[in-house]
Chains A and B, each alone.
Chain A
Amino acid sequence: MDIQPIFAALRKHRIPAALIVLEIALACAVLCNAVFMIGQRIGEIRSPNAIDEQGIVDINVQGINPDTANADIPRDLATLREMPGVSAVAALNMMPLGNNSWNMNAATSPDQLQSKDTPNVAEYLFTRGGPDALGLHLLQGRFFNDDEYADSKLGSNYLPDAHAALVTQSLVRRLWPDGNALGKSLWIGKNNRYTVVGIVADVLRPDTNGGENAHFLSAFFPVSPAAGMQDYVVRSASQDRERIVRDGVQKLETLSPSVVVEGHSFTEIRDKYYANARSMVWMLVLVCVVMLAVTAFGIVGLTSFWVGQRRRQIGIRRAVGATRAHILRYFQTENFLLSSAGVAVGMILAFGINLYLMQHYQTTRLPWYYLPVSAIALWLLGQLAVLGPALRAANVPPVVATRDG
């Protein structure tokens, strides 16, 4: 199709044409960045977590008397273990994605501790049965044996006096880049050394705000029941979760009336943790949809207007032999050209906005493939928006040409 006449017509309507280009450019720029943010948030929400998320229930107990904790906790765990459907139980100091958080700096040698480059690591402590109750996924080595639990008292420095530790794969990558971690020493402070006995798949931390790659830096230690182990993890089939929360809380409240007991399934904990990210996603999706709708209506309005203005011209073209399809294609081509110009400007704007966000917020570079995708989206949107006015134009009868006016 000859696009020369289209350019000629556009030159006559410079301002409306420029407005359509501007609308598409702005929509493209905002769309790229918004979709990118949506992608980032969804990535966060879907962070993998190598525990049995579907089968785990957390029963949090606060206010255990420290003096009797080492007797109360085994009694509580035994009660929970007897409930029908329960396959494993253990007491923990904190839950992944929970609101209680124990962290420390870990190193491969006491010397390394003196440098600033030691990673901050989440410190999970659990009693016997912990790996099974959480559903940890062992990649190398072994879990703890009974002696290691029994001999491990929680000291007043918040560390167990065991000598064994499990580490996540990410922590191995961070501390032992060659991947050989089994049997190596993990130092916490100058006085606590632990031997790595096993490597487990990555488990999320209670708070993941330690920067981009810190979400999975965790270590696990065996401990004998002590005050501070305030989360009871109860594992079952996923359909039993609600019942176990309900009955478990009730049983523990009856056992010790002076403590405060709360129960949640792990999926609830996860949903709560990512609730803000999820509402951000919905808000961004809503803005994108409404923005695209507004842009489409703008294109419909402007195109309708100049179809109306050019009724006579269209009539003449029809009278000299142009088919309906010709007219339709004319307006579609015109819109395609305008959209392309808009997308071109929009891509530059999109990268500009992205650069600004990278400087002021924790955002990464916009991947290139967002551009063709949003370009296609806006081309389609433009074609859709122009369809109505273009069909009306195509329906202009040739006889209009003969009318005055």
Chain B
Amino acid sequence: MGVNDMFGYYLDLALRSFKRHRVLTALMVMALGLGIGASITTLAVLKLLSGDPLPQKSARIFAPEIDPLTAASTTKEDKLFERWGNLMTWTDAMNLLHARKAERQAVMALASSKITTATPGQHPFFSDSVVTTSDFFSMFDASFQYGSGWSAQDDENRAHVVVIAGFLNDKLFGGANSVGRILRVNDHDYRIAGVLKPWAPQPRFYSVNLGGRGYGKGDALFMPLQAAVADKVNTQTVNCFDSGIDADHLETAPCVWVSTWVELANASDAGAYKTFLSNYVAQQIALGRFHHPGVALPDLMGFLAQQRVVPDDARMQTNLAFGFLLICVVNTVGLLLAKCLRRSREIGVRRALGATRGAIFTQFMVESGMVGIAGGVLGLVFAELGLWAIRHQPAEYASLAHLDVSMFIATFVIALIASLVAGLLPAWRACAVAPAPQLKSV
């Protein structure tokens, strides 16, 4: 018999054995399926939560972090950066923006903007919006369906232009090209400069420390920072670190409320930019504005780790699910062992008829592999059920919980590995069965 024939024969033997031990087999498949279903469900969620929002360029996007606290405060830098990240005072953000030491740079804050429609009788509504500067769109790879963003000149001129998301364009203009039309935002008129194609990085890295949502369909409205601030936009997050706060003049207040991002031509330019940042801080210390020399420049993924974007609960659930999978595998080992020891006689006969130990081993490994594949199929069903349940949870990432191709493949890889590991001990016990005593008692 050739190798292929042998494999076919083992498959046939495995199927026969499944038929003979229906309950045991069902239990094994069930246990593996449950363990795999739980693991894949939690892994899919964890992967969704900890994904790279800009895979093509995240290594070149950096978050400059500086410490504006007063002389009296001696907060540990790492804790400060963990809390505030790249939040800055208006002055510092504008200084870094205008220094233009990076390929691209943008300053931003979040706001909830009131949009008043022209339709009589229709109620105004509030939309998540980003107030930012011109490089935002090119830096974060947001592409346009109609029109374009605004220019750096528009920023300085406080031009009243906006970019809207496709879904807002659908809602307001039925998806038509709305470039050039006027939108009433926070009781001021803005001209629509562009409409974005669907753009919603997950997690929404730029909003995590600005008080926005971390996941979901994305922001609806993008406005020039200077113009919006001049119109007294209410930004989502204002953290003040000294007294003398004047909410009407946040540009000079001792408060951090805007964040800064930079894009460098190469990831290796980070050292140079960090030096620039340290020099800037040293200069501010000399001017008496700053008191703490610490700076940091995490890249995008480093920033997400620092900000603890992935909730602890999601990691704990994944750990727990893999603990559960381990329990299921140990169970499968036990059940497989029980099954193969029951078949000691059959093994004895096969050995006496000339089957090598290797052949017996292979036969049992094929059998456990099949249990694994069946467990994988069942696991997939459980994972789909689990993700369906998660999609009905109120969490903001809930609607995004789906199995993608890689998780689909991972399901079978994990199932196969789990079942083969589970099969090792029983198969080894099986091939250790000596032919003679078994034959004697027949």
Indicate if B425 sits at the interface (CB-CB under 8 A).
Answer: yes
* Contact (Cβ within 8 A) B313 A280: yes
Measured CA separation A257–B117 after assembly (Å): 12
Quote the shortest CB–CB distance from B355 to chain A (angstroms): 23
Contact with B along A284-314 (1 / 0, CB 8 A): 1001001100110110011011101100000
Indicate if A22 sits at the interface (CB-CB under 8 A).
Answer: yes
Contacts of B311 in A (CB 8 A): 276
> Which of A157, A294, A306 is the one whose CB lies under 8 Å from B331?
A294
> Which of A23, A279, A284, A361 is the one whose CB lies under 8 Å from B327?
A23
Indicate if A7 sits at the interface (CB-CB under 8 A).
Answer: no
Kindly report which residue of chain B lies nearest to residue A23, judged by CB atoms: B330
Q: How many residues of B contact A (CB 8 A)?
A: 53
Quote the shortest CB–CB distance from A101 to chain B (angstroms): 9
Categorize the interface residue count of chain A. Answer: 35 or more
Contacts of B324 in A (CB 8 A): 30, 287, 290-291
Indicate if B383 sits at the interface (CB-CB under 8 A).
Answer: no
Q: From known contacts A302-B335, A357-B316, infer whether A15 and B330 are also in contact, taking CB-CB under 8 Å.
A: no
Quote the shortest CB–CB distance from A240 to chain B (angstroms): 25
> Which of B74, B327, B337 is the one whose CB lies under 8 Å from A291?
B327
* Contact (Cβ within 8 A) A23 B331: yes
> Which of A16, A157, A190, A276 is the one whose CB lies under 8 Å from B337?
A16
Indicate if A403 sits at the interface (CB-CB under 8 A).
Answer: no
Q: Which residues of B in the span 113-149 have a Cβ within 8 Å of any Cβ on A?
A: 114, 116, 123-126
A contact patch SS: helix
Contacts of B327 in A (CB 8 A): 23, 26-27, 30, 291, 294-295
Kindly report which residue of chain B lies nearest to residue A22, judged by CB atoms: B330
> Which of A16, A63, A116 is the one whose CB lies under 8 Å from B73?
A116
* Contact (Cβ within 8 A) B317 A280: yes
* Contact (Cβ within 8 A) A189 B243: yes
Contact with A along B305-326 (1 / 0, CB 8 A): 0000001110111001101101
Indicate if A37 sits at the interface (CB-CB under 8 A).
Answer: yes
Measured CA separation A278–B266 after assembly (Å): 45
Kindly report which residue of chain A lies nearest to residue B234, judged by CB atoms: A228
Measured CA separation A63–B393 after assembly (Å): 30
* Contact (Cβ within 8 A) B334 A257: no
Contacts of A62 in B (CB 8 A): 112, 114, 126
* Contact (Cβ within 8 A) B331 A158: no
* Contact (Cβ within 8 A) B330 A19: yes
Quote the shortest CB–CB distance from B431 to chain A (angstroms): 14
Contacts of B425 in A (CB 8 A): 15
> Which of A27, A259, A279 is the one whose CB lies under 8 Å from B395?
A279
* Contact (Cβ within 8 A) B441 A405: yes
Indicate if A272 sits at the interface (CB-CB under 8 A).
Answer: yes
Quote the shortest CB–CB distance from B54 to chain A (angstroms): 26
Measured CA separation A188–B34 after assembly (Å): 55
Contact with B along A147-177 (1 / 0, CB 8 A): 0000000001110000000000000000000
Kindly report which residue of chain A lies nearest to residue B116, judged by CB atoms: A258
> Which of B320, B330, B334 is the one whose CB lies under 8 Å from A287?
B320
Measured CA separation A353–B342 after assembly (Å): 36
Indicate if A253 sits at the interface (CB-CB under 8 A).
Answer: yes
Indicate if A275 sits at the interface (CB-CB under 8 A).
Answer: yes
Q: Which residues of A in the span 1-59 have a Cβ within 8 Å of any Cβ on B?
A: 15-16, 19-20, 22-23, 26-27, 29-30, 33-34, 37
Contacts of B243 in A (CB 8 A): 113, 157, 189-191
Contacts of A258 in B (CB 8 A): 116, 124
Indicate if A373 sits at the interface (CB-CB under 8 A).
Answer: no
Indicate if A213 sits at the interface (CB-CB under 8 A).
Answer: no
Indicate if A283 sits at the interface (CB-CB under 8 A).
Answer: yes
Some 25 contacts from A to B, beta carbons below 8 A apart, are A20-B334, A23-B330, A23-B331, A26-B327, A29-B323, A30-B324, A156-B248, A157-B243, A157-B244, A189-B245, A260-B124, A272-B394, A276-B313, A276-B395, A284-B320, A287-B38, A290-B324, A294-B35, A294-B331, A297-B31, A297-B331, A298-B31, A301-B335, A308-B342, A309-B342
Known interface pairs A22-B330, A156-B248, A361-B316; 14 further A-B residue pairs with C-beta atoms within 8 A, sorted by A's residue number: A15-B337, A16-B337, A23-B331, A30-B320, A33-B320, A158-B247, A191-B243, A260-B114, A275-B395, A276-B311, A276-B313, A290-B34, A301-B27, A305-B337
